[in-house]
Chains A and B, each alone.
Chain A
Amino acid sequence: MKKVFAIFTFIYLSTSAFAAPRTMFLVKPYGQIHQNASRVSRIITTFECGQPLKVVRTEDQFSFVTYANYEGYIFSNHLIDAKPSDCYQDKYRKFFEELNLGISDMHYWAKLQDLLVEGNSMP
C-alpha cells in the first residue's frame, strides 16, 4: 500500500514539476508583468493585447510568465488560451492609431488594468 502511495506521489510531483509551459495570450488592451505577485510590485515590462506569453506556473490570482528574456507575474485573468480576436488595436486599427498613444500612455493603460477591481451582481 505504501509503495503504491509513494509511486502515485512521485508521478504527481514529477508531472507538476516538469509540466511544459503553455502559451497563453494577453486579452487586455495593455498588460504588465511584475517582479512579484502583487498589483503594485515593480513593473518588468508592458505588453500589447494578443501578446503570447509562456505560463510557467499559476499562483493564486497571478501567473508566472516568460517572454524572451523577461519573466514575472501577471494577473491570470488577463490571459486566455486562444489568440484573442477582439483586441481593440486590431478591431479598430486606424481609430486606435489616431489615439496616438505614447509610451507613458501605454504604461498607464496597462497599469489601469491592474488597478481596476471588478465585480458584478449576477443572480
Chain B
Amino acid sequence: MKLILILIFSILTFADELPIQNDFVNFNNIKGILKKDGLEKVVEKKKIEKKKADIQKEEKLKAMYNTPSEDDFWSIMIQYWLVKNAPILKWDFNRPDYGMIPAFEGFLKDVGEYGVKFKLLFFNSSNITHFGFPMGKDSYLFVISVPFIKTMDLSKTQIAALLYEDLIRVKQGHFESMISATTLSKLRNTNFFQQLVPKKEIASLLTEIDQIVYTKGFNFQQQYQVTKYVNTVLLNNKKLWQNYYTLIQKIDELAKGNLLFKNYAKIYPSPELQMNWIDPSKK
C-alpha cells in the first residue's frame, strides 16, 4: 500500500516536467517536415470546402423561402384564386369545348397576334361574364361564362373578339396596375427567410382580385384605350370589325335588359360608350 502511494506521489510530482522534450512529441520541431508533407495545405483545403458546403447549405435553406418569380407568380396566384372561387364561379361542370381553341387561334393569327399561349376556362355562372388574366411571359388565362355566351347567342368569332379584347386589356397592363404595388413587391420575386411570412399579403391579393373581378372592374380611361386599340386593329378586317361591333351591340342590349347581367357596365364601362367610340359615322 505504501509503495503504491509513493508511486502515485512521484508521478504527480514529476508530472509538471512533462511533456518530455522529444522531437517526436513536440510538433513545433517537426512543423517544417509537416509543411513539406503538404498536410497544412490539405487542412486549409478542407476548411475552404467546409465553408463552401456551409454557404451552399444556407443558400439552399434560404431558397426554400423564395416567393414566385415574375414568370410563375401570376400562374400560381390566378390558379389559386380560381381554386378558392370554384363554388362561386362554378367552373367544375360538364360542358363541350365549343371549338373555341381553333377559333381563337385563328382569330389571333388573323389580327397578327403571334406567340400568344393561352388557357381557356368555361364556367356555369353569371357572377362574372368574361375576364382575362396574366399567366407569365406571353401566357394568358381567359375565363368565360357559358350562360353569358348562350344568352346572347354569340358566334365563335364574336367570342374570339371578346377574348381578344380581354387579351389587350391584360397586355396594356390594366389588370396588374390595379393591384397594390406593396402587395406585389412582398409576394413576387423576393425572399422571406428570417422575415414575417407574407400571409397577410396573400389574403390581400385575393381580396384585390375579387374586387376587380366582381365589383370594381375597369375605369373609363382604361376601357377607352382598349376599345380604341381593338378597333384600330380590327378595322383592317371588315368581317372581324363587323363581328366586334355586333358583339358590343348585343352586350349593350343584354346589360340594359337582363337583370342577371346588370353589373356588366360596372366592370366594363360601358358598351354604349364603346359603340360611340368606334362608330365610324361619329368621326
Contact = CB atoms under 8 A, between A and B. Distances in A.
Contact of B68 (A88, A112, A119, A123): A88
A2 interface: no
Contact of B94 (A40, A96, A118): A40
Interface string A64-103: 0000000000000000000000001001111110110100
A115 B121 CA distance: 7
B57 interface: no
Nearest to A106: B83
Contacts of B141: 116
Contact of B202 (A98, A108, A115): A98
Binding site secondary structure of chain B: mixed
B41 interface: no
A95 B197 CA distance: 8
A88 B66 CA distance: 11
Contact of B115 (A109, A115, A123): A123
B100 interface: yes
Question: Which among B80, B100, B202 has the highest number of chain A CB atoms within 10 Å?
Answer: B80
Given A92-B72, A105-B83, A121-B109, A116 B101 contact: no
Max chain A C-beta neighbours (<10 A), residue from B66, B119, B122: B119
A121 B80 contact: no
A29 B68 contact: no
A54 to B, nearest CB: 27
B192 interface: yes
A1 interface: no
A98 B83 contact: no
A117 interface: yes
A98 B198 contact: yes
Contact of A119 (B79, B114, B120, B122): B120
B229 interface: no
A100 to B, nearest CB: 8
Interface stretch (B20-28, B46-54, B84-92): B84-92
A121 B113 contact: yes
A14 interface: no
A123 B72 CA distance: 24
A122 interface: yes
A121 B91 contact: no
B76 interface: yes
Nearest to A109: B83
Interface size class of A (residues with CB under 8 A): 20 to 34
A111 interface: yes
Contacts of B116: 120-121
B117 interface: yes
Contacts of A120: 105, 115-118
A107 to B, nearest CB: 9
B174 to A, nearest CB: 21
12 contacts: A92-B67, A92-B72, A99-B80, A108-B83, A112-B79, A117-B119, A118-B120, A121-B115, A121-B116, A122-B115, A123-B109, A123-B115
Interface of B: 64-68, 72, 76, 79-80, 82-84, 86, 91-92, 94, 97, 100-102, 104-105, 108-109, 113-122, 141, 192, 197-199, 202
Interface of A: 29, 40, 88, 91-96, 98-99, 101, 105, 108-109, 111-112, 115-123
List the 5 shortest-distance A-B pairs measured between CB atoms, nearest first: A121-B108, A119-B101, A108-B83, A116-B119, A120-B117
Given A105-B83, A116-B121, A121-B108, 18 more contacts: A91-B66, A92-B72, A94-B197, A95-B192, A96-B76, A108-B86, A111-B86, A112-B82, A115-B92, A115-B122, A117-B120, A118-B118, A119-B102, A119-B104, A120-B105, A120-B118, A121-B115, A123-B115
